[in-house]
Amino acid sequence: MKKFEPAVFIPAAVLIFAGVGYAVLAGDQAETLFVHLRMMITEKAGWVYSVGVGVFLVASVFVALSDWGQIKLGPDDSEPEYGFLGWFAMLFSAGMGIGLMFFAVAEPLTHYIAAPLGDPETVEAAEQAMVLTFFHWGIHAWAVYAIVGLSLAYFAFRHNLPLTIRSALYPLIGDRIYGPIGHAVDVVAILGTLFGVATSLGYGVNQINAGLNTLFDVPISPVVQVVLIGLITALATTSVLAGLDAGIKRLSEWNLFLAIALMLFVFIAGPTLFLIGAYVQNIGDYIDQLAVLTFNVDAYGDGVWVNDWTLFYWGWWISWSPFVGMFIARISRGRTIREFIFGVLFGPTLFTFLWMTIYGNSALLQAVNGMADPILQLVRDGDTPLVLFAFLDTLPFSAITSVLAIILVTTFFVTSSDSGSLVKATLASGGSLTPPLWQRFFWAVLEGVVAAVLLLTGGLAALQSATIAAALPFTLVIFLAFVGLMRAWSMETARRAGAKSAPQLPVEGAAVPWRMRLKLMFSTPKPEDVRAWMKDAVDAAFREIVPEMEKQGLSSRVETDEEQDRIWLTIEHGEQPDFVYGIELKSYEDTAVPGSSVSQQNSRGEVFLAEGGQHYCIYGYSKTQVIRDVIRHYERHRQWIHHLVNVN
């Protein structure tokens, strides 16, 4: 696997410096240009976002409930690399983090005082405000992430393609993903990731500065914010250099525990019984209005509110999808498609709904009862970063909870930055799961520098608008990726149909005598015994098959991997999938040895195919018996190709 892809790294770095330079030098002109571009796209093609996000959601649920949901993101014998808690913590922290802290109180109150339908500042407006907040932060965002992440994880872990955005297009353009088209797709993904995270970091540092101002009278100023960006970028760089397990995973879990602790405090200190009922009703209202809200583009109105809110969010989630989708793909190897989709769709969504209910409904209850005038005034004045701390000030121990909130925003800041840096380093290294340290360091530092420069020059709004506008073409990429997935899954279906319908090969003279089978069953061969057998019987069997296949016009080869103790035969089929049959040495602690209470090391020669391990051992088979087992599987492969051609 490559550790450096110059055709991606160099153009991405050059375009980033050029984009930042333009935003800095052009100033208001750049902001005007990008804002105008965003408005034009949302007004003329906003329906693409709405239809796209709606289709992604329906498609995700359909796939999860279908037979395709049983397919693993990796070989058939693979197991999840991370437990559910660590997996959930990482995907949640990367996907929503800073935004939840920034908007949990501010967005419901904004919809309350400026209701898109009906009278503002009423009970009905409060109820509608929560539905709209759920809609913007709910299952639709995670459906986008799920489709992108699923495409990447499937092709990377099941078909050994690079873990890059380009791999999702392999079923459509084939090996051209390794050329200019693939390079361009990955460059766009890096740009969207860096500028998307940088603008979100702008939200986060504004809120940290606001919290420090509330607690310690630290002035709200660009200089203070740049210093904060420097400190937090240093933490993010340390985390990303430590790696996924030691850095990002551990920090994400700690971050999740802290978020739950603060949320539980607000739940207990606030109107607890009311919040329980509100959570249930909010979900019910959300489900009831889901279809109408999904496809509402305000065709009969002026479209201003939909453009400013819903289409803004859809564009934002789509622009973030290369980053979040790729990151959750990176941590999801070994899960089934069904586990992946349901975990990604419903786990973070239900937690987000609980979070928004506890913070948003608590603030709305105060507003409805006329007890939140100072907070509402902050919303009207646009002082959004101060809203959360003003709300916490209405609860007991506000000094402590405000400090916890600052820490939580900081850790969300760090987890977004470090996971984003890891994704960019992976893209710029050709899909390496362990990109070099210097690349991780480069992207983490560059992310902080970009955020600081744009914050000082006022260019964050310009780049944010540009990022949203860039979501339009990436919507097409996601559509194409899903089409590619459908085609690949059809091949999986054909493979299984071929395996089921293939006749069994006659076994006269092929079966291992039963006494020998019984003897092998209770034997405990050592690794060197299995290696010797692989060399004498398996290698000889494979090399006897090769010339016979060449007589049939099929190119084949025998390959070995001494480090992994694997040997395999590959029979090439041109445009159709190749046939792979191999033997892998695996060792286990065997406690089922008769007459012994002590576990012994038991080595096995297990069969694996292109789709993964088959979990059965043929150690002790003769050369002829190995050949017959290969032919048995190869006949199934041929039958699968027959089904595949007919299906397509």
Alpha carbons 105 and 383: distance in angstroms, whole number = 12
Alpha carbons 277 and 217: distance in angstroms, whole number = 38
Question: Coil, strand or helix: which one is 332?
Answer: coil
For residue 339, which of 14, 38, 88 has the smallest C-alpha distance?
88
pLDDT category of residue 503 using cuts at 50, 70 and 90: very low
pTM assigned to the model: 0.79
Terminal C-alpha separation, the chain: 32
For residue 523, report the phi and psi dihedrals to the nearest 5 degrees: -85, 155
Q: Over 90: is that where the pLDDT of 144 sits?
A: yes
What's residue 537's pLDDT? Answer: 93
pLDDT digits (tens, 9 = 90+) for 370-414: 999 999 999 999 888 899 999 999 999 999 999 999 988 888 777
Q: 615 vs 51, which has greater pLDDT?
A: 51
Q: What share of the chain is helix, strand, coil (3-state, %, to 5)?
A: 75, 5, 20
Could you tell me how many helices (H) and strands (E) the chain has, helices first? Answer: 25, 5
Query: What is the average per-residue pLDDT within 502-508?
Result: 43
- The 3-state secondary structure of 86-125 reads HHHHHHHHHHCHHHHHHHCCHHHHHHHHCCCCCCCCCHHH
pLDDT digits (tens, 9 = 90+) for 408-445: 888 877 777 777 788 888 889 888 877 888 888 898 88
Query: What is the average per-residue pLDDT within 265-279?
Result: 96
pLDDT digits (tens, 9 = 90+) for 63-95: 999 989 989 998 887 888 888 877 877 776 665
Q: Which two tokens stand for residue 497?
A: 């149909």
Residue located via tokens 């996907």:
95
Alpha carbons 194 and 126: distance in angstroms, whole number = 36
Q: Over 90: is that where the pLDDT of 121 sits?
A: yes
Which residues fall within 8 angstroms of residue 401, CB to CB, at 6 or more apart? Answer: 262, 265, 266, 392, 395
Query: What domains lie within the chain, and their CATH numbers?
Result: 6-488 (1.20.1740), 505-647 (no CATH)
Among 7-21, 189-203, 551-565, where is mean pLDDT lowest? 189-203
Q: Over 60: is that where the pLDDT of 547 sits?
A: yes
Query: What is the average per-residue pLDDT within 148-167?
Result: 88
Asked whether the beta carbons of 416 and 97 are under 8 A apart, the reply is: yes
Bridging pattern class, strands 612-617 and 566-573: unpaired
What's residue 375's pLDDT? Answer: 95
Asked whether the beta carbons of 312 and 468 are under 8 A apart, the reply is: yes
Q: Over 70: is that where the pLDDT of 595 sits?
A: no
Burial of 605 (0-12, 13-18, 19+ CB in 10 A): buried
